Structure 1
Amino acid sequence: MAKILCVLYDDPVDGYPASYARDGLPVLDRYPGGQSLPTPEAIDFTPGHLLGSVSGELGLRRFLEERGHTLVVTSDKDGDGSAFDRELADADVVISQPFWPAYLTAERIARAPQLKLAITAGIGSDHVDLDAAIAHGVTVAEVTYCNSISVAEHVVMMILSLVRDYLPAHQWVLDGGWNIADSVRRSYDLEGMHVGTVAAGRIGLAVLRRLKPFDVHLHYTDRHRLPAEVEQELGLTFHPTAADMAPHCDVVTINAPLHPETENLFDDELIATMKRGAYLINTARARIADRDAVVRALESGQLAGYAGDVWFPQPAPADHPWRTMPHHGMTPHISGSSLSAQARYAAGTREILEAWLAGKPIRDEYLIVHDKALAGTGARSYSTRS
């Protein structure tokens, strides 16, 4: 029997919900591009309920315990003596979310001799040391595409929020004011701007498609160039690198995975090449942007705004400078954890567990590391240090 260690974020401060704002979710047939949604044998949860917090348990407890497995769920993941560290020593499987990542460092993997599978309930597995997973024969899997559209919607929301300077205007309403001049002095139209994405995979391409109706000029860079017919359909301009693209754009959105090639990509040097007053949106991974370079660029006016929902570490400490820097639209890491997305990544997590527990192959598109090598989506999206 297996021990499954699941690290999830805390319940709401006023307790696990007894009711919800809506009665259900729209039914989707498949993802854009044709990939099927998760197909577990069954689910033991109600779609649209809060599944990603501790009490939600990703809807896994009944499924696992009826089969004799042990499920341990905790939000305590950091610091000496955390529940995660205590339980990891004899865990066979670790489940974590990018929004509340259990950092599986090389040291932690070395202290977990029984660990065989690390599942990301969501997308983005950079909180796992992939080199160490390869060395120790740990399979890494994630629920590819489960929240890509959720994140793309969040990106578009943040772009509009920054360009139109929505948040300060809303604050005047909350404060009882009617300060129109204050509310519009940094507000512009998105129409006609040049918008570029760093990476045009599932999320980046979805962002481009959603921005096309705004009559903007669209740019992208990616290690894999899109088909010519897609470029023509969306009117895309391709750039070989982010450094080539950045000077042309009024808005840059980062939609790339974190790996050695992208870490600290947006540093002082690259940001200095951007148009003065450009906007930078990062819902990918915090360490793709240099933390202090972003602060300096906002303070100097080189950037007109920065928004995103990714931080390092997560959760971010109370004194993290991105909480107090000017002209930001930061949120906790929530873009991919809408109630809609949770239903998909909970179902996908169960699908991965069903396959692994039965000794069957895990879907290729879910694989990041397998058989001591990058595999599946991981082979197309990540690089390693070795």
Structure 2
Amino acid sequence: MDQDKPWALISELGEGVYTEDITDIMKQHFHLISHKEFLQNPQLQGPKIQALFLWNACPDAEPSLLTSLPLLKVVANGGVGIDHLDVPYINSLGVKVTNTPGVVSDATADMAMGLLLASARKIVEGHRVATDPNTFSVPEGMMGVEVTGSTMGIIGMGDIGLKIARRARGFEMKILYHNRNRRSPEDEASVGASYCQNIDDLLRQSDFVVLAVNLSPETRGLISHRQLSLMKPTSTLVNISRGLVVDQDALVQALRSGMIRAAALDVTYPEPLPRDHPLLGLPNVLITPHIGTDTYTTTRKMVQLMVENAVAAVKGLPIPNEVRPK
């Protein structure tokens, strides 16, 4: 019976990302309770819950929630980034933390290339022109920039960065990369990438700078006034990592002044931006609402991995993707 399964807390049921086919994956192993249901009687429900499933950082794994779940064994995060989680604190409660690396890489790399192409070729602006009933010809300012044969600089050459490079190679792009650790000669050769030990060299040479790093104290504010000033005035910044990797005030200034040509962002801080934020009013910015992993195929893979991690933690088995404090 469903009540005999371990209990798991999720943000919602039957809406948003947790559609019926997705929750069916979870229901094979867990009795699910939504955060809304939980809040109606936390004293009764809390002692039953052994797993907490997080999607888009919801529900918030704050101390007041975690301490109300005395039997909790695992916080299973959907996605790779865990910057919204205090892993040492959660571990101090005897609770494991997991994420879903690998399965998000293809969709995120696709998103990076989609943003790059849409920005370079003004696809969104073109759509607006083509569907405007009062426009009968292509207006001035629709000239884009060439992608094929240009130079891409990738900052963060993990699994996602490597997949972005593979896609860029299909556009005959010259690929530069900067990473904390240099990739193997075989990896470099497979995508034709050249390593830049100094990030400044990459910024000076690239037509498109793509950010694919994890958020950490070292990468927070990685791109600010100085870094933007090194980029070409014809260059584009593409960010599919985390909003806090970029100093947004510096980015606004760079875009307004013509220091760089454009920015294409799937991530900002906060998310969503306040409706009066200056980034939203700039014509040379393309923003999407952190949907880099939002495909049906990838979402199902992520949820399946979340469940596998949670089942292992509840049963005391080796966890496929445990996140440990650094």
| TM-score (normalizing by structure 1) | 0.74
The partner residue of 1:6 within 10, 13, 22 is: 10
For residues 228 and 146 of structure 2, the distance between their equivalents in structure 1, rounded to whole angstroms, comes to 22
- 2:50 is the alignment partner of 1:95: no
Asked if the contact 1:5–1:95 (Cα under 8 Å) also holds between the matched residues in 2, the reply is: yes
Structure 1 319/107 Cα, relative in aligned 2: closer, same or farther at 3 Å? farther
The residue aligned with 2:292 is 335
Asked if the contact 2:229–2:259 (Cα under 8 Å) also holds between the matched residues in 1, the reply is: yes
TM alignment of 1:1-386, pairs within 5 A: 2-7=6-11, 11=15, 52-53=17-18, 58-60=23-25, 62-64=27-29, 70-74=31-35, 83=39, 90=47, 91-98=49-56, 101-105=58-62, 109=66, 113-176=70-133, 177-182=135-140, 184-185=142-143, 187-363=144-320, 366-369=321-324, 374=325, 383=326
Asked if the contact 1:197–1:219 (Cα under 8 Å) also holds between the matched residues in 2, the reply is: yes
Root-mean-square deviation over aligned CA pairs: 2.8
- Where structure 1 has 5 or more consecutive residues not aligned to the other structure, the ranges are 13-51, 77-81, 375-382
Structure 1 222/61 Cα, relative in aligned 2: closer, same or farther at 3 Å? closer
What letter is aligned with 1:341?
A: T
Paired residue total: 318
Structure 1 349/61 Cα, relative in aligned 2: closer, same or farther at 3 Å? closer
> 3-state DSSP class of the match of 1:145?
coil
Asked if the contact 1:168–1:183 (Cα under 8 Å) also holds between the matched residues in 2, the reply is: no
More helix by share: 2
Asked if the contact 1:57–1:73 (Cα under 8 Å) also holds between the matched residues in 2, the reply is: no
> 3-state DSSP class of the match of 1:326?
coil
Q: Deviations over 1:289-348 (max 9, x none)?
A: 112222221111112111122233334443444333331111111110211111211211
For residues 96 and 85 of structure 1, the distance between their equivalents in structure 2, rounded to whole angstroms, comes to 20
- Where structure 2 has 5 or more consecutive residues not aligned to the other structure, the ranges are none
Equivalent pairs: percent with the same residue?
A: 23
Asked if the contact 2:234–2:260 (Cα under 8 Å) also holds between the matched residues in 1, the reply is: yes
For residues 164 and 21 of structure 2, the distance between their equivalents in structure 1, rounded to whole angstroms, comes to 30
> 3-state DSSP class of the match of 2:176?
strand
Per mean C-alpha deviation after superposition, the further-off stretch among 118-127 and 215-224 is: 118-127
For residues 109 and 128 of structure 1, the distance between their equivalents in structure 2, rounded to whole angstroms, comes to 12
1:97 shift after superposition: 2.0
For residues 147 and 13 of structure 2, the distance between their equivalents in structure 1, rounded to whole angstroms, comes to 35
For residues 248 and 148 of structure 1, the distance between their equivalents in structure 2, rounded to whole angstroms, comes to 26
Structure 1 260/228 Cα, relative in aligned 2: closer, same or farther at 3 Å? same
